Chains A and B, each alone.
Chain A
Amino acid sequence: MVHFTAEEKAAITGLWGKVNVEEAGGEALGRLLVVYPWTQRFFDNFGNLSSPSAIMGNPKVKAHGKKVLTSFGDAVKNMDNLKGTFAKLSELHCDKLHVDPENFRLLGNVMVIILASHFGREFTPELQAAWQKLVAGVATALAHKYH
């Protein structure tokens, strides 16, 4: 189980407070679909994903990105119990959505890159490390109920 120090929790929470979840969510999901096009396999009903600008401007991508990142906010509030927090979502992603957990790792790394581009030097190596722990913890929690 992943363990966060008090400093890491404060640093993560502090940064999260400054994130525009709606905007960042759309950007994260959009970049996932642009950089790793095979991830589009889960979104056949999203309409036009034919180019980077189509993807980044797609309203369904933005809406779903917001949903995903809002859910990520639960992780920030429950860093000591990621597995419990994401148990139901884990079952959903396995049984109904059939998403390979590798995709959670890809999205987590895209999120870290977006944080870096938004926060610049404020996104220190130590802050990145704390966030890498969190995205890895969330990915593991989402994969935990897979069978």
Chain B
Amino acid sequence: MVLSPADKTNVKGTWAKVGNHGAEFGAEALERMFTSFPSTKTYFSHFDLGHGSAQIKGHGKKVADALTKAVGHIDNLPDALSELSDLHAHELRVDPVNFKLLSHCLLVTLALHLPADFTPSVHASLDKFLASVSTVLTSKYR
């Protein structure tokens, strides 16, 4: 799967609209994922997962900052995400199926907050982008 120039434009455009709501959207996506897909909570037994949890907010910011970096280096995701890729492979070892669940909840969050911008084409580009990020993050698993 390759991101076309149009995909990259769509992703950058959407992320610009996210502006400084990245941390908030990241936290919301995580909360939605924990609520809809309870098995994902198994990776966060050390967190307070209640609504409004400071740990979820903090983690949402981490996720958003990583995506911001990815958007900024969209032409070379493997390089930009190399450390995160190592982290997920050797320390976190999150089963690959969970990246689809978080990606879906990120799309839900973006569609909810930016409905006018979330056209079918933008939806497709974002889905491809998140799938590409997920592939890079699981690329060193074995």
Given the interface contacts A52-B121, A56-B120, does A113 sit within 8 Å of B32 by beta carbon? no
Task: Say yes or no: A34 contacts B36, CB within 8 Å.
Answer: no
Task: Say yes or no: A117 contacts B120, CB within 8 Å.
Answer: no
Say whether chain B's binding surface is mostly helix, strand, loop, or mixed.
Answer: helix
User: Would you call A109 an interface residue if the criterion is a C-beta within 8 Å of the partner chain's C-beta atoms?
Assistant: yes
Q: Which residues of A contact B107 (CB under 8 A)?
A: 113
Given the interface contacts A120-B112, A125-B31, does A35 sit within 8 Å of B36 by beta carbon? no
Q: Which residues of A contact B115 (CB under 8 A)?
A: 117-118, 120
Q: Which of B35, B37, B120 contacts A126 (CB 8 A)?
A: B35
B57 → chain A closest CB, angstroms? 14
Interface residues of B (CB under 8 A from A): 28, 31-32, 35-37, 104, 107-109, 111-113, 115, 118-121, 123-124, 127
User: Would you call A123 an interface residue if the criterion is a C-beta within 8 Å of the partner chain's C-beta atoms?
Assistant: yes
Q: Which residues of A contact B37 (CB under 8 A)?
A: 132
A101 → chain B closest CB, angstroms? 16
A54 → chain B closest CB, angstroms? 11
Q: Which residues of A contact B113 (CB under 8 A)?
A: 120
User: Would you call A58 an interface residue if the criterion is a C-beta within 8 Å of the partner chain's C-beta atoms?
Assistant: no
